[in-house]
Structure 1
């Protein structure tokens, strides 16, 4: 009971929170060119990145925010994929899009990145520009971009980690 209340409190007042939205995955969404990272003022753990720079790699874009319990629950899987596949061509980019005003503070985001042991690049999307470019509506949400720069997979919410990892492996194996 307490855990359910804590999760609800982490997403209180947010109609678009993945806690109340059904988890969904699409292994074969209508592929389209991945939107560029937009409106990013601060990059953590990295110099600014562009998708043009990352062409030829598989990119996992992870929309998250540090006070969302569902987002925190996905971090072990995301960090594992980063460790396991970064030397094989996967680039994980966390796009931190705040829900609450205190999540807009760069120092708070940096402390959260350190606390959670995140070593991959994190883009701070305070203006929701990248969020809007992807048409995203949920925390957490994953978008996989193939080596040609197309969004070919998405997943909303927690779970289906094996399915997401299989999609990563398939994309990494493609020429």
Structure 2
């Protein structure tokens, strides 16, 4: 399974045996159970995560209700960016939606990898750019699309999420109630 980790990273940049050895040396593999919290708001982030297998939900607590902002699946990096960068308490929470295997890079080990080789700096840059683009797409969808249009786009671009993620989290991600999501599904799917 950790071989998947290397295969996903090879999508960013070619890696030789020495690079692979260093990645394993400076990371830790951890498995989270379904619904287990990975990281909670109020803490300072010292780690970057990489999803080898599973699904992780990013959510915020808003007036006592959690609001889903994003889902991370295989091949994606996860980081509470502002907290990690500026060492301030995080506003976000990360939760395993299903049994999830993550590779974890501590800040110290990340710094070592970045010093060792420009390849790792390139991976970090590409991962950051991908995260930024994903965030911009989500913001744009809320500004330019209706809930039904966002549902159709999610169905077309990442339909497998509907089999992996509970409906209430999908509804929250789309910015609607579970009841409204049911009505949208009826209209779209007939």
Shorter-chain TM-score above 0.5: no
Structure with greater Cα Rg: 2
Q: Structure with the greater relative contact order (CA < 8 A, sep ≥ 6): 1 or 2?
A: 1
Structure-2-length-normalised TM-score:
0.28
Task: Indicate the structure with greater helix content.
Answer: 2
